[in-house]
């Protein structure tokens, strides 16, 4: 008999997962159906090896997740802008996280010059970082991919800091912004230092804030 394919195994796995969830909390699905109140917005990579809830050991409903190729944030991307608006303005998350990771295929692609179709346009922000930090990256040697991944996270944090909805939430209710790198080889999350002096951040907010 042929072994079940990936999709069949996935459906069987779902049944097992559902049974475990109900055993741990008989009312979990009933409660989830009533609404959500996650405390964390997670902006990460689509890579199959970094499932946010699992690596954070959190439950359904705890994290509002947005994932795309190489965790890129752009001020003109309506998909991520919609997610940020909903999570920050309506769900009132307390933390917004951008998480990159080592061995990122998108970042590796941005370090090359091979045509990748529509991905060429998507990876432009990372290509721009590659150009901006060319000297530093050349000195990084084998750590080049990791360093560009870190720079990409910090750049996405800057995009968040220029978002009017985020600015308002930081000022009015103390929304916290965080940058992380997930080391795949170690299975470890590491915090990146994206902090700015209060005066610098305040001037930036003054430029990008809008009146409601």
Residue-level pLDDT at 205: 76
* pLDDT tops 70 at residue 200: no
Rounded-to-integer distance, Cα 167 and Cα 89, Å: 11
Mean pLDDT of the chain: 94
CA distances from 113 to 74, 123, 125 (A): 21, 11, 14
Confidence of residue 196 (pLDDT cuts 50, 70, 90): low
pLDDT tens-digit readout, 97-143: 999 999 999 999 999 999 999 999 999 999 999 999 999 999 998 89
Give the residue extent of every domain in the chain: 1-35, 37-208
Q: What is the CATH number of domain 37-208?
A: 3.40.1050.10
Annotated binding-site residues read 45, 47, 101, 104
pLDDT band at 209 (very low <50, low <70, confident <90, very high): confident
What is the reported pLDDT for 212?
66
pLDDT reported for residue 206? 77
Question: In the chain, what percentage of residues exceed pLDDT 70?
Answer: 93
Q: Is pLDDT above 60 for 1?
A: no
User: Which residues are marked as active site?
Assistant: 45, 47, 49, 101, 104
- Tokens representing 81? 């802008």
d(CA 133, CA 113) in angstroms, rounded, equals 17
> Average pLDDT in the 176-193 region?
95
Q: Which residues are annotated as a binding site for Zn(2+)?
A: 45, 47, 101, 104
């Amino acid at each position: 008999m042929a072994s079940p394919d990936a999709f069949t195994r996935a459906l069987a796995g779902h049944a097992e997962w559902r049974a475990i969830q109900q055993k741990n909390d008989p009312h979990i699905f009933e409660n989830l159906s009533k609404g959500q109140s996650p405390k964390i917005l997670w902006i990460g990579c689509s890579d199959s090896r970094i499932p946010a809830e699992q690596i954070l050991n959190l439950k359904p409903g705890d994290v509002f997740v947005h994932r795309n190729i190489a965790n890129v944030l752009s001020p003109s991307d309506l998909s991520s802008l919609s997610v940020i608006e909903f999570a920050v303005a309506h769900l009132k998350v307390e933390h917004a996280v951008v998480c990159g990771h080592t061995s990122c295929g998108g970042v590796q692609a941005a370090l090359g010059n091979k045509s990748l179709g529509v991905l060429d346009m998507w990876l432009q922000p990372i290509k721009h970082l590659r150009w901006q930090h060319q000297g530093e990256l050349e000195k990084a040697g084998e750590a080049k991919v990791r360093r560009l991944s870190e720079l990409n996270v910090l750049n996405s944090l800057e995009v968040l800091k220029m978002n009017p909805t985020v600015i308002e939430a930081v000022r009015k209710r103390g929304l916290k912004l965080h940058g992380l790198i997930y080391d795949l080889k170690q299975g470890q999350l590491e915090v990146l230092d994206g902090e700015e002096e209060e005066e610098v951040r305040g001037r930036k907010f003054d430029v990008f804030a809008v009146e409601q």
